[in-house]
Structure 1
Amino acid sequence: MASRAYSLPNLLTYFRIVCVPLVVLTFFMEGQLKSPDYARWTALTIFIIASITDYFDGYLARAWQQTSTIGRMLDPIADKLLVAAALLLLAADGTIAGWSLWAAIVILCREILVSGLREYLAELKVSVPVTRLAKWKTTMQMIAIGFLLLGPAGDKIVPGITIAGILLLWVSAVITLYTGYDYFRAGLRHIDD
């Protein structure tokens, strides 16, 4: 069991969890919530590295037959922590504001509801597999958040980076709603009440 806990796929998942506070800390490099260009580039770099580990931890676990219970538990938690922390950070610094906050709220609510549903179904020994569309949803969220983390620093190089990030966030929110409904519908079959 201990050897599986320290397998490379699980180490990548642990690394992704460690990246969550690092992304947030980049916006506090000057002692308060600020997002100068260098902070945004640093946050984006850490976020991209963390996002890439999301692909490789699962791929390597399957390819090397190193799947583990802790990996299956922590992988979705690491994803949700990374997305939630980044969305809250971007809302706090004003990159996501106004109506666009609703896209972030939809994403956060769905992640919490699906996590609760999965936990409930796990007690019933019911597994709800991750769909291909749910994987695309995660990818779209990561791309949108990457654009938004770069935000104004990216707009100086390629005007419209922030707008593209907001548009992708809305696309992610729509896909998030659909996949959340899919999970909820699958879970309803197993709810006694």
Structure 2
Amino acid sequence: MTWTIPNILTVLRLLAAPGVAVMFLFFARPWADWFALFLFVTAAITDWFDGWIAREWNQESRFGAMLDPIADKAMVVIALLVITGFSGMNPWILLPATIILFREVFVSGLREFLGNTAGLLKVTQLAKWKTTAQMVALAVLFSTGIFEHHFAERVHGMDVDTIGAILSGELPDELSLVRLLWWQDATFFGGVVLLWLAAALTALTGCDYFVKAVPHLKDRPQ
């Protein structure tokens, strides 16, 4: 294995995947959310960048081809676990997350079973869009935690009536509570919509791979 720039970026992306969860073990929120968001977005950008470098600089390798999808799946799966956990198992997040996780396990199992013929399950353009949709949705949902906890910090010690008066416009909004609450709601609902879109694309690619694999799953005549 040659340590080319694309391979190094892929390995770093793989290491960043568990780092997203580790941020919440060593830092308090919202700092953990900020660090996790930065790590996730940076790693997601390298997903495009290392592929572009590999093609343009003719540095494509079997090691990179093997590790790249593993790094992508690790990032998505770990981020989904973190977001689902901190959402309080919100069904609007849990259901699309379940679809995505089921598809990833199912397709990985197909590839393992097919062995030498797994090459027929090559990554399609739709699968690339699926990965992009997943990355964007998860990044948006990570930002929700940032706005949520900054809002909680600013209203700490306030009584409910005061908070309600500020949000309704009866009192001046010196702490920008309305803006924080708007961004919190916007990123949550926007992230949920994007996550459902990603889940739909994920299911479609899973069905596509299964259809391609069916001829190779039939029992041979005795």
TM-score, reference length from structure 1: 0.89
Q: Which whole-Å deviations, capped at 9, do the CAs of 1:99-135 have from their partners, x for residues lacking one?
A: 4201001001101111121223333364322111110
Segment drifting more, 96-105 vs 142-151: 96-105
Equivalent position amino acid for 2:41 in 1: I
Please say if 1:134 is aligned against 2:127: yes
Quick check: 2:120–2:212 contact (8 Å CA) kept in 1?
A: no
Structure 1 residues not aligned, in runs of 5+: none
Match of 1:90 among 76, 79, 83: 83
Segment drifting more, 60-69 vs 139-148: 60-69
Distance across 2 between alignment mates of 1:69 and 1:127: 16
Quick check: 2:20–2:39 contact (8 Å CA) kept in 1?
A: yes
Distance across 2 between alignment mates of 1:126 and 1:28: 39
Match of 1:168 among 194, 204, 207: 194
> Which structure is higher in helix share?
2
Matched pairs, number: 186
Q: Which residue is 2:13 aligned to?
A: 16
Distance across 2 between alignment mates of 1:119 and 1:69: 17
Q: Which residue is 1:71 aligned to?
A: 64
TM-score, reference length from structure 2: 0.78
Structure 2 residues not aligned, in runs of 5+: 149-179
Match of 2:183 among 158, 161, 165: 158
Quick check: 2:92–2:192 contact (8 Å CA) kept in 1?
A: no
Identity among equivalent positions (%) equals 42
3-state SS of paired residue (2:183):
coil
RMSD: 1.7
Q: Which residue is 2:40 aligned to?
A: 47
Please say if 1:7 is aligned against 2:33: no
Distance across 2 between alignment mates of 1:150 and 1:39: 11
